[in-house]
Chains A and B, each alone.
Chain A
């Protein structure tokens, strides 16, 4: 990938700018980020409003978990390397890059931010600490200190096109099993078409919804069957997720995204419907598509929630809420709610599919993160942190609702919520949204 060339003026100013730009990979990482990042780092007044709203600080109110303290670790690098006065003072009184010169502690602290963007909703000047943490993580990645399971995930994505590292045979076996299950449940032949050229819709679930859980894909297949849609999946690019976004590595983020854009273009589909993964959807819709990473895309992009909600609004789906009689609540996944503004659609779907839907306290754009955001729920090494500190607020909220089923729109949230429920001994069932559609849909 070619680095963008920036205009550098001639003369003394140009010499200074070139020195900044070429001095250090750290500096380049910071300079390559959107200008909003520098605006955030320059304007943060350290007032601390964000701390009251941060799920991590709520779990452990001390200096280490304070969002501003965490961001300060990155801001000091930014000041030291890229601002005039920072460079000037550092030339006279050199300071270490990290507090106590401890890079591993820095890495650990960057993975204590859930990147849920709740701080951004409450900050008086709108600073999004997740952007700063993400750059911190990109520096961690540069040093090779990214937690192994996340690094392995991005590696698998490059090698096999999915996070699990599954072969095509394993995928085909899973699809065959899901088709058999659909036949058993409905008595109909509901096919999951693969690699069909010229199909109208390209469906892209996260790989966990094909290789680990079957129910969301079954729900989607039934929806497509019910409306007689012309759809397909790709047998090679079926993983709509993005770990590069989580690890802060822009190269991984862009190429994990390119993989399925290519597949969709090659099949000539007109509409890409993305499954229940907020990271991939946010990168796809708001970065790759609007930022024109790969030029103007020849297809439309929509999320499964918008797609299904639209079908419900226009009365194309027949749903029987009696099939989901238990009390259901919805946990907003950060990337969908705070990242993409998809708040109403999942609620519309749940209200149409469940007999008794109740709101989670503080639900919506300013929801509390499950505590496993930003890739943390994929890290076994921080399990204690997730259960007792970052997940504390969510555990309290889940206990407050009388729900039997907590539905959510992200696989990472599902893993985390399941673990919280087990850890805090709550008899809850955690499901996806289309999983409940799968139960309620009536095929004619």
Chain B
């Protein structure tokens, strides 16, 4: 697989063709802000960070994104709010900004 090297948050990071970063260890808030800008999110609010950090911490524990139902429950947001925050949706938007590798599978 060919990865592209781009500068995110002042660091050179490999990303795949869909824009997911391939070195999750290099992730920090600056990287997240730059990834968010690519998705058209001008400013990361407290709500954005809450979702991103919940996904990130869950991933650090289990190496997978949480169930959507769990994400909604624990961050006390319904799915529409998450779509309002991350227009690309929970997987392509929030997980990407949280620095997770590309999710595979049907969904």
Contacts and interface: CB of A to CB of B under 8 A. Distances in A.
Interface string A152-183: 11001000001111110110011001100100
B67 to A, nearest CB: 5
Contacts of A377: 106
Given A152-B104, A177-B70, A378-B104, A170 B17 contact: no
B17 A148 contact: yes
Interface of A: 148-149, 152-153, 156, 162-167, 169-170, 173-174, 177-178, 181, 206-208, 211-215, 241, 277, 377-378, 380-381, 410-412, 414-415, 418-419, 422
Contacts of B83: 422
Nearest to B62: A170
B18 A163 contact: no
B69 A181 contact: yes
A213 B104 contact: no
Contact of B106 (A174, A206, A380): A206
Given A211-B67, A380-B18, A415 B106 contact: yes
| Ranked 6 nearest A-B pairs via Cβ | A163-B105, A411-B106, A170-B62, A380-B18, A208-B107, A214-B69
Interface string B77-94: 000000100000100100
Main secondary structure of the interface of B (DSSP, over half): loop
Nearest to A277: B106
Contacts of A419: 89
A415 B68 CA distance: 13
A353 B69 CA distance: 22
A174 B69 CA distance: 10
B104 A212 contact: no
B59 to A, nearest CB: 10
Interface string B40-69: 000000000000000000000011110111
B62 A208 contact: no
B62 A166 contact: yes
Contacts of A412: 106
B67 A174 contact: yes
B25 interface: no
A164 B104 contact: yes
Contacts of A213: 67-69, 107
User: Interface size bucket, B side?
Assistant: 20 to 34
A378 B106 contact: yes
A167 B83 CA distance: 28
A29 B16 CA distance: 30
B97 to A, nearest CB: 15
Given A173-B62, A214-B67, A215-B69, A156 B104 contact: yes
Given A211-B64, A212-B107, 14 more contacts: A148-B16, A152-B102, A165-B63, A170-B63, A177-B70, A212-B105, A213-B69, A214-B67, A378-B104, A378-B105, A381-B17, A381-B18, A415-B106, A415-B107
Contacts of A415: 106-107
Interface string B8-48: 00000000111000000000000000000000000000000
Contacts of B63: 165-167, 170
A422 B89 CA distance: 10
A174 B67 CA distance: 7
A415 B106 CA distance: 8
Given A148-B17, A166-B62, A381-B18, A207 B67 contact: no
Given A380-B92, A381-B17, A177 B105 contact: no
Contacts of A211: 64, 67, 105
Contacts of B102: 149, 152
Contacts of A380: 17-18, 92
A213 B64 CA distance: 13
Contacts of A241: 105-106
Nearest to A155: B104
Contacts of A156: 104-105
